[in-house]
Structure 1
């Protein structure tokens, strides 16, 4: 079985696992009958994982049908993975801080899958995936657009319903504007760092060796890729 076929099946399997985890997390939250559970779709983690499910399903079908991912899919994967991985990091820090402060934070298996296991697996998959394209650097600033829009909407909506998905966005739970700005800046910096890491991994020479020569077409290869190809041909000659 070809590597791309195996990887396509793995993508579809990961999409299924993520969907099951999201459904369980929604059911588990609704059973608690709290305002947080009623705002399931307001969490950045859940929104980004829903996008992750859809994109993985599409990526899995493409991997089964094509020898290489189109450029738009690689860029979309880089963006969504930046959001899901960062959400996992932030959640881990919040759980750790809650334990330090004696605050109980329940973490069901679905939360563990969404915040820890899937992000870890996707990082490994990103490094080893056959058929990926090089990711342009403009993905890094674009990555910040979604959390900024989400944050602005959350700050507008929070006072109306008296609830915020994350404590550092709630004026009642921070010491003042300085703490709010500090936490927000740190979160945005993590988004940018994760996106930068994904771009760097996509440009590693060992990563590009997975790409099938038959899958390359001049319309989808960046100038840097063409230069690499010319150098390789020259060396072989």
Structure 2
């Protein structure tokens, strides 16, 4: 997955690499704690920080399926894995890895923005559920963005990498509507086709996707022009906007 170090950009100072390890490690730890708290609440019949639902009237298996059907949980899982791997090797690179990094960043930003604007006013959480939502909806997005802004790495994102990063959200939407059609349960009110009607729910989904595309463009511009403390891994070529990630990652 990682490209070899041969020639090209100079290696960053050891202190920068250490700082990146610490920051990305903090991201992974915060998300892991939030996920553990939330999963524990589900097993104990506590409150789901995503929906506010609680109790054991719904079978545990169903509660777990619903939990992992939330985009919040999926995006935080991606962030946790990506941040943990970045903590081990902050200059990790690879074609699939670039997609995973972009998925983590876009997914968690959308999670934070959608929750703060559309969902937080509907929920009034207390206790451990409030702890979980703070970690998964606020701390995780902010820390992930700060880590990427500070350390990058940069100049890795092209149009095809961005396109590949949208496979997961689109598959999630297809699953959400298919699962909802069978169970009449939808993870978010703005996607509730049973209540809003399928047409309006699809319009809402498309609006969120369009917002995500705009966000992806902003991230690609920042990736291209905003400096970061970590230079591209030696042996990697900065990826132009039209580059095909299936091609070779050659030395500059």
How would you bin the TM-score normalised by the shorter chain?
0.7 to 0.9
Which residue of structure 2 aligns with residue 57 of structure 1? Answer: 84
In the TM superposition, residue 183 of structure 1 has moved relative to its aligned partner by 0.7
Which residue of structure 1 aligns with residue 173 of structure 2? Answer: 151
In the TM superposition, residue 53 of structure 1 has moved relative to its aligned partner by 1.1
Gaps of 5+ in 2: 1-13, 47-53, 241-252
Moved more, 149-158 or 89-98: 89-98
Find the partner of 1:24 among 37, 41, 50: 37
Post-superposition CA distance 1:173-227 (Å, at most 9, x none): 21x34422321111111221222222111111533x7417xx422xx21376xxx
Q: Would the alpha carbon gap of residues 210 and 80 (structure 1) be closer, same or farther in structure 2, given more than 3 Å must change?
A: closer
Moved more, 69-78 or 44-53: 69-78
Find the partner of 1:124 among 146, 155, 166: 146
In the TM superposition, residue 129 of structure 1 has moved relative to its aligned partner by 0.3
Instruction: Please tell me whether the aligned partners of residues 143 and 192 of structure 1 are also in contact (alpha carbons under 8 angstroms).
Output: no
Which residue of structure 2 aligns with residue 90 of structure 1? Answer: 114
Find the partner of 1:44 among 67, 71, 75: 71
Structure possessing the higher relative contact order (Cα contacts under 8 Å, 6 or more residues apart)? 2
Which residue of structure 1 aligns with residue 136 of structure 2? Answer: 114
Larger radius of gyration: 1
The RMSD of aligned alpha carbons is 2.5
SS in 2 for 1:172: helix
TM norm structure 2: 0.73
Find the partner of 1:200 among 221, 238, 242: 221
Q: Give aligned pairs, total.
A: 210
- Which structure carries more helix by proportion? 1
Residue 221 (str. 1) matches residue 237 (str. 2): yes
TM norm structure 1: 0.77
Instruction: Please tell me whether the aligned partners of residues 31 and 135 of structure 2 are also in contact (alpha carbons under 8 angstroms).
Output: yes
| Cα distance between partner residues in 1 of 2:24 and 2:239 | 29
In the TM superposition, residue 37 of structure 1 has moved relative to its aligned partner by 4.2
SS in 1 for 2:206: helix
| Cα distance between partner residues in 1 of 2:63 and 2:215 | 28
